[in-house]
Chains A and B, each alone.
Chain A
Amino acid sequence: MAVPLAERHPVRVLLLAIALLPIAVSCVDSQAPVELGFSLRNGNAPLSCTEIAGGLRLTDLRLYLYDLRLIDGAGRPAPFELAPDEVWQDDRVALLDFEDGQGACVNGSAEQNRSVRGTASGGPFRGIAFTVGVPPDLNHRDPMTARAPLNYTAMHWHWLSGYKFMRVGVRSDSDSYWLHLGSSHCDGNVGAAIECRAPNRISVQLADFDPATNRIVIDIAPLIAAGNLDDGTGSDCSSGPDEQACSGAFAALGLPFGDNTEQASQRIFRSEPAP
Chain B
Amino acid sequence: MKIALTLAAVLLLTAIAVLLMQRSTTGYAWTLPDAYPLPPVPMDNPMSTIKVELGRRLFHDRRLSVNATQSCASCHRQSLAFTDGLAHAIGATGAIHPRGSMSLVNVAYASRLTWANHLLDRLEVQALTPLFGENPVEMGMVGREAELIQLLRQDEYYRDAVPLAFAGDADPFSLLNLLRAIASFVRSIVSFDAPYDRYLRGDPSAMSPSAVRGMALFFSERLECFHCHGGTFFTDSSTHADAVVESVGFHNNGLYNIGGTGAYPPDNTGLYDITGDRRDMGRFKAPTLRNIAVTAPYMHDGSLETLDAVIRHYEAGGRAIAQGPRAGDGSRSPYKSMFIKGFDLNDEERAALLDFLHSLTDETVLYDPRFADPFAGGDTATTGHADSIRR
A interface list, Cβ under 8 A from B? 107-109, 142-145, 152-154, 156-161, 180, 184-188, 190-191, 194, 197-198, 236, 238, 240-242
Interface string of B169-196 (1 = CB under 8 A from A): 0000001100100000000000000000
- Interface residue B143 (Cβ < 8 Å from any Cβ of A): yes
- Asked if A242 meets B266 with Cβ closer than 8 Å, knowing A144-B175, A197-B276, the reply is yes
B263 nearest CB neighbor, chain A only:
A242
B119 nearest CB neighbor, chain A only:
A161
CB distance from A2 to the nearest CB of B (A): 13
- Asked if A159 meets B141 with Cβ closer than 8 Å, knowing A144-B179, A187-B275, A197-B276, the reply is no
Select which of A109, A144, A152, A240 is within 8 A of B273 by beta carbon.
A240
A187 nearest CB neighbor, chain B only:
B275
Task: State in angstroms the CA–CA spacing of A165 and B194 once bound together.
Answer: 47
23 contacts between A and B (CB under 8 A): A107-B144, A109-B143, A145-B176, A153-B141, A157-B391, A158-B125, A158-B126, A159-B120, A159-B389, A160-B119, A160-B390, A161-B120, A180-B134, A185-B274, A185-B275, A186-B119, A186-B274, A187-B118, A190-B119, A190-B122, A240-B276, A240-B389, A242-B266
- Interface residue B203 (Cβ < 8 Å from any Cβ of A): no
- Asked if A153 meets B119 with Cβ closer than 8 Å, knowing A143-B128, A241-B272, A241-B273, the reply is no
Q: Is the CB of A154 within 8 A of B142?
A: yes
A62 nearest CB neighbor, chain B only:
B143
Q: Is the CB of B276 within 8 A of A241?
A: yes
Task: State in angstroms the CA–CA spacing of A72 and B132 once bound together.
Answer: 43
Task: State in angstroms the CA–CA spacing of A145 and B42 once bound together.
Answer: 14
Q: Is the CB of A158 within 8 A of B276?
A: no
A241 nearest CB neighbor, chain B only:
B276
Q: Is the CB of A159 within 8 A of B391?
A: yes
- Interface residue B121 (Cβ < 8 Å from any Cβ of A): yes
Chain B at the A interface: mostly helix, strand, loop or mixed? loop
Count chain B residues whose beta carbon lies closer than 8 angstroms to a beta carbon of A. 35
CB-defined contacts of A190 to chain B, threshold 8 Å: 119-122
- Interface residue B124 (Cβ < 8 Å from any Cβ of A): yes
Q: Which B122-142 residues have C-beta < 8 A from chain A?
A: 122, 124-126, 128-129, 131-135, 141-142
Task: State in angstroms the CA–CA spacing of A64 and B121 once bound together.
Answer: 26
Q: Is the CB of A152 within 8 A of B143?
A: yes
Task: State in angstroms the CA–CA spacing of A201 and B141 once bound together.
Answer: 27
CB-defined contacts of B34 to chain A, threshold 8 Å: none
CB-defined contacts of A238 to chain B, threshold 8 Å: 135, 390
Task: State in angstroms the CA–CA spacing of A194 and B125 once bound together.
Answer: 16
Task: State in angstroms the CA–CA spacing of A161 and B120 once bound together.
Answer: 8
Q: Point out which of A108, A142, A156, A198 has the most chain B C-beta atoms below 10 A from its C-beta.
A: A156
A158 nearest CB neighbor, chain B only:
B128
CB-defined contacts of B145 to chain A, threshold 8 Å: 152-153
B interface list, Cβ under 8 A from A? 117-122, 124-126, 128-129, 131-135, 141-145, 175-176, 179, 266, 269, 272-277, 389-391
CB-defined contacts of A142 to chain B, threshold 8 Å: 125
Q: Point out which of A160, A188, A197 has the most chain B C-beta atoms below 10 A from its C-beta.
A: A160
- Asked if A158 meets B391 with Cβ closer than 8 Å, knowing A107-B143, A190-B120, the reply is yes
Q: Is the CB of A240 within 8 A of B390?
A: yes
Knowing that A153-B145, A157-B391, A236-B135 are A-B contacts, what are 20 other residue pairs whose CB atoms are under 8 Å apart, sorted by A's residue number?
A144-B128, A144-B179, A152-B145, A153-B132, A153-B143, A153-B144, A156-B132, A158-B125, A159-B129, A159-B133, A160-B119, A160-B390, A185-B275, A190-B120, A190-B122, A191-B121, A197-B276, A240-B276, A242-B266, A242-B269
CB distance from A223 to the nearest CB of B (A): 17
CB-defined contacts of B135 to chain A, threshold 8 Å: 180, 236, 238
CB distance from B112 to the nearest CB of A (A): 9
CB-defined contacts of A160 to chain B, threshold 8 Å: 119, 274, 390
CB-defined contacts of B276 to chain A, threshold 8 Å: 184-185, 197-198, 240-241
CB-defined contacts of B272 to chain A, threshold 8 Å: 241
Select which of A108, A143, A240 is within 8 A of B143 by beta carbon.
A108
CB-defined contacts of B141 to chain A, threshold 8 Å: 153
Q: Is the CB of A186 within 8 A of B175?
A: no
CB-defined contacts of B128 to chain A, threshold 8 Å: 143-144, 153, 156, 158
CB-defined contacts of A187 to chain B, threshold 8 Å: 118, 275
Q: Point out which of B129, B135, B272, B273 has the most chain A C-beta atoms below 10 A from its C-beta.
A: B273
CB-defined contacts of A240 to chain B, threshold 8 Å: 273, 276, 389-390
Task: State in angstroms the CA–CA spacing of A193 and B352 once bound together.
Answer: 46
CB distance from B15 to the nearest CB of A (A): 32
Q: Point out which of B121, B129, B389, B391 has the most chain A C-beta atoms below 10 A from its C-beta.
A: B391
- Asked if A185 meets B117 with Cβ closer than 8 Å, knowing A154-B142, A158-B132, the reply is no
CB distance from A102 to the nearest CB of B (A): 14
A167 nearest CB neighbor, chain B only:
B134
CB distance from B45 to the nearest CB of A (A): 11
CB-defined contacts of A153 to chain B, threshold 8 Å: 128, 131-132, 141-145, 175
Task: State in angstroms the CA–CA spacing of A107 and B122 once bound together.
Answer: 27
A236 nearest CB neighbor, chain B only:
B135
Task: State in angstroms the CA–CA spacing of A158 and B128 once bound together.
Answer: 7
CB distance from A242 to the nearest CB of B (A): 6
CB-defined contacts of B125 to chain A, threshold 8 Å: 142-144, 158
Q: Is the CB of B143 within 8 A of A159?
A: no
CB-defined contacts of A145 to chain B, threshold 8 Å: 176
CB distance from A12 to the nearest CB of B (A): 15
CB-defined contacts of B120 to chain A, threshold 8 Å: 159, 161, 190
Q: Point out which of B119, B124, B133 has the most chain A C-beta atoms below 10 A from its C-beta.
A: B119
CB-defined contacts of B273 to chain A, threshold 8 Å: 240-241
Q: Is the CB of A154 within 8 A of B176?
A: no
